[in-house]
Amino acid sequence: MNIKGSIVALVTPFRNGKVDEKCLQDLVEWHVKEGTNGLVPCGTTGESPTLSHDEHDRVIQLVVEAANKRVPVIAGTGSNSTEETIRLTRHAAKVGADAALVVCPYYNRPTQEGLYQHYRTLSEAVDLPIVIYNIPGRSAVDMSVETMARLAKLPGIVGVKDATSDMARVSRMRVLIGERFVQLSGNDDTALGLMAHGGHGCISVTANVAPRACAQFQRACLAGDFAAALGIQDRLMALHLALFVETSPAPIKFAMSLIGKCEPEVRLPLVQVNDSTRDKVRVAMQAAGLLN
């Protein structure tokens, strides 16, 4: 399994309150054809907090089936309960996911030792590669570089999705752990900097609507052609920003609806974007060459 490049943080399409299973599998097929290097179902962008347990399991299974081993599936299986995280991760392994993306437990704010024990317990309970998801803005806890270096010594912990926007962390991790630990950007707007520091790819929101451009961007970065990457970054930057004017994934689902890829429907407590945000998304998509 090779986790690198442009990995899409897949939306979960809804229609009339239900998961639109056909649309979801059509999206997977589109991503494979457009050059996306990996798929993350049931992450934050997939509205995992509002999926029932049955829906969560079903979405992962559908994505695994549609991908059919053509690209890796890194299933979102995190929870603020270690026991629940183990259950979700075991199911992902059972249905054939290639790895699990596991967010730092949110709301209960564990200590660094608590974070270590959470991931250690998971890695011992499930035989599936685990990518740590460090997103302090949503989880209210920040895993330190030192804790991550401890975890990297465990055979099941293979990398991190870093949504801190702290570029120096990449180099600090490389000093402590080396190049083998996969470092993925969790933010499209800072992915260029992370890659220049030695990152391996990005778990991208923008790739939901611009998969080909995001794949081209990552290929340029991985080839060391940062001049080409900068040109793509400049073209996509307004879109990166517009997709977070309101809480994600409402803006990206609206953007996808403009090109006929899914309905703009989200689940409460999220709501569809307002008129001002719609205007910003349209303008940004035009600048990116995605709309006339």
Catalytic residues: 133, 161
Please check whether residue 180 lies inside any domain of the structure: yes
Please check whether residue 266 lies inside any domain of the structure: no
CATH number, domain containing residue 145: 3.20.20.70
Residue 160 has pLDDT above 90, yes or no: yes
Query: Which pLDDT tens digit goes with each residue over 222-259?
Result: 999 999 999 999 999 999 999 999 999 999 999 999 99
Average pLDDT of the chain is 97
Please check whether residue 234 lies inside any domain of the structure: no
Average pLDDT over residues 71-88: 98
Question: What would the DSSP string read from start to end of 141-204?
Answer: ----HHHHHHHTTSTTEEEEEE-S--THHHHHHHHHT-TTSEEEES-GGGHHHHHHTT--EEEE
Please check whether residue 254 lies inside any domain of the structure: no
Please check whether residue 242 lies inside any domain of the structure: no
Q: At 58, is the pLDDT very low, low, confident or very high (cuts 50, 70, 90)? A: very high
Residue 158 has pLDDT above 90, yes or no: yes
Average pLDDT over residues 207-225: 98
Residue 107 has pLDDT above 90, yes or no: yes
Q: What's the chain's Rg over C-alpha atoms?
A: 18
Q: How far apart are CA 99 and CA 159, in angstroms?
A: 10
Please check whether residue 253 lies inside any domain of the structure: no
Contact 85, 118 (CB under 8 A): yes
Residue 81 has pLDDT above 80, yes or no: yes
The residue range of the domain holding 92 is 5-226
Please check whether residue 291 lies inside any domain of the structure: no
Average pLDDT over residues 214-224: 98
CA 93 to mean position of chain CA atoms? 18
Query: What's residue 292's pLDDT?
Result: 87
Residue 60: which H helix or E strand, with range?
A: helix 53-67
Average pLDDT over residues 35-62: 98
Cβ-Cβ contacts under 8 Å for 10 (sequence gap 6 or more): 24, 27, 28, 31, 39, 40, 41, 43, 45, 46, 63, 208
For the chain, what is the domain count?
Answer: 1
The pair of structure tokens assigned to 208 is 């939901």
Residue 161 has pLDDT above 80, yes or no: yes
Q: At 125, is the pLDDT very low, low, confident or very high (cuts 50, 70, 90)? A: very high
Residue 1 has pLDDT above 90, yes or no: no
Average pLDDT over residues 278-283: 98
Please check whether residue 187 lies inside any domain of the structure: yes
